[in-house]
Amino acid sequence: MAAPHTTIGAVFSAGAEEFHRWSPLLWDPVGEATAAVAAPVPGERVLDACCGAGASALPAARAVGPGGVVDAVDLSGSLLAIAEHRAHLEGLRNIRFHQGDATAWKAPEGGYDLVQCALGVFFFPDMDRDSWALAGRLRPGGRLVVTVWEKGALGGWGQAFKSAVETEREWPPSPQSAQLARIDTAEALAAWLEGLGLNGARVQRRQLDVPLTPDSAWDLAMGSGTRALVAGLTPAAIERVRQRFTDGLAEASVSDLDVRILTGTALA
């Protein structure tokens, strides 16, 4: 995605409906995998950065129980509204949602026991600086847990979308993709976490294959950062992109979304 950081919240808010249709298929499994590695325990204080619709914040809130607290922060007000509704339906009273920049969030006195960020750090304007700031919200011995896409993930889907967009406009350079490319292997992610001044970095890998339909593939494109790549196109042009995207998936026999994630954890 090539949109400036100041527009990321607006992009995800515009695609919130499509984003949430993917919650049970993708975002929730990724969030649950992140929380499983983070392993929050009863009574802990947790910061969930870039929380979206609550995919990792909700399991963290269940785990820390009534004696703990989760602060969930995101730029998108529309996604936060979905997350708040989900928490309400579950009766979770120990989770607080905040709209804003997670990298500027102030920690409570004594710091957080856990700071987690699922599929978010590569959207930061400066991944190193801003992730270091997140780590600074931890108490001594606290855990930073980061989930990113593994190299090659989403490949068939992503290539089909790129080819379709390029029939209408030039594909722009992506600072987010460049940042992700620095941490998209287990070795690179562990080294990067250590480079933030953290200790004992370890990385776990998980792979899922999620069935795709033409409609769900388009929902993912419009409900994620890639939505920015059709911003400004006419409705007719967007429809042409959609049709070429659908045709491209069929021609390449892409029937599943190749989901590969890396979750790294390290100690302050």
Chain-centroid distance of CA 163 in Å reads 24
pLDDT in tens, the chain (268 residues): 233 334 889 999 999 999 999 999 999 999 999 999 999 999 999 999 999 999 999 999 999 999 999 999 999 999 999 999 999 999 999 999 999 999 999 999 999 999 999 999 999 999 999 999 999 999 999 999 999 999 999 999 999 999 999 999 999 988 999 999 999 999 999 999 999 999 999 999 999 889 999 999 999 999 999 999 999 999 999 999 999 999 999 999 999 999 999 999 999 9
pLDDT in tens, 173-217: 889 999 999 999 999 999 999 999 999 999 999 998 899 999 999
Is pTM beyond 0.85? Reply is: yes
The residue among 170, 184, 61 whose CA lies nearest residue 122 is: 184
Choose the CATH number for 5-152+174-208+261-267 among 3.40.50.150, 1.20.1250.20, 3.40.190.290, 3.30.830.10: 3.40.50.150
State the residue for tokens 């491209």.
248
Give Cα separations from 236 to 33, 155, 170, 186, 206 (angstroms): 39, 26, 17, 42, 39
The predicted pLDDT at position 168 comes to: 97
Spatial separation of the C-alpha atoms in residues 181 and 219, rounded to whole Å: 25
Q: Which of 152, 158, 149, 147 is nearest to 212 (CA)?
A: 158
